[in-house]
Copies of this chain bind each other. A is one copy, B any other.
Amino acid sequence: MVHLPKSIQNLIDELAKLPGIGPKSAARICFYLLSQDSHESANLAQAAADLKKNLKKCSVCYNYGQTEPCEICSDEEREKETICVVEEPLDVIAIEKTGYRGLYHVLGGAISPISGISPEDLTVSELVSRVKNGGRKIKEVIFATNPTLEGEATAVYISDRLKATNVKITRLARGLPVGGDLEYADEMTLARSLEGRKEL
């Protein structure tokens, strides 16, 4: 173990806890900050300290927002007929980039018996009552959970509970990723994309 000044070692340790940053990248970032003007690290510190200030979980969609309900839920120009169900707030950003203009519902994860995550740990009941109480305003629920075992199971479980509502329930298409290479696609993806083939 190399002996480093305490404040350097401290920041390296904190950075190395973050996802995708190993000890080497952490050291590189730390020495980069040292080589920069003091306000670079001060700005980072301020941004990290202020992260959760004025931030709340929206009581309608459970995404992060500064207002209650959040900016998306209270946006008059969004289509109120569609709810896109995602696992995490980060997924909202991905869907937003596609130009989707409907509403969201953030589950807070996926059902996973192995990790001990049951529907009660997620905002599943909240979604069900939201759809039920929405009356005829909500016409479609799009499941955009991850294409994993847990994500699929979560979508199936919730759609079962939503069946009585007569709302249209859809799931994001599975198939070949755009720009991908056929020979590198796995069997499952290829099978799904055959199954879901469209007429030209």
Binding site for B on A (CB under 8 A): 2-8, 10-11, 13-15, 17-21, 25, 27-35, 38, 40-55, 64-66, 71, 88-90, 93, 96-97
Check if B2 sits within 8 Å of A51, measured CB to CB: no
Please give, as numbers and ranges, the residues of chain B lying within 8 Å of A30 by CB-CB distance: 51
Least distance between A147 CB and chain B CB atoms (Å): 18
Which of chain B's residues have a CB closer than 8 A to the CB of A89? 31, 34
B41 lies within 8 A of A49 (CB): yes
A27 touches B93 (CB 8 A): yes
A11, closest chain B residue (CB): B47
- Flag if B4 contacts A55 (CB, 8 Å): no
Find chain B residues with CB under 8 A from A13 CB: 47
Contact (A71, B29) CB under 8 Å given A50-B10, A89-B34: no
CB distance from A75 to the nearest CB of B (A): 9
Report how far A82 CA is from B59 CA in the complex, Å.
65
Q: Is the CB of B90 within 8 A of A8?
A: no
A64 lies within 8 A of B19 (CB): no
Report the separation of the CA atoms of residues A46 and B52 in the bound assembly, to the nearest whole angstrom: 15
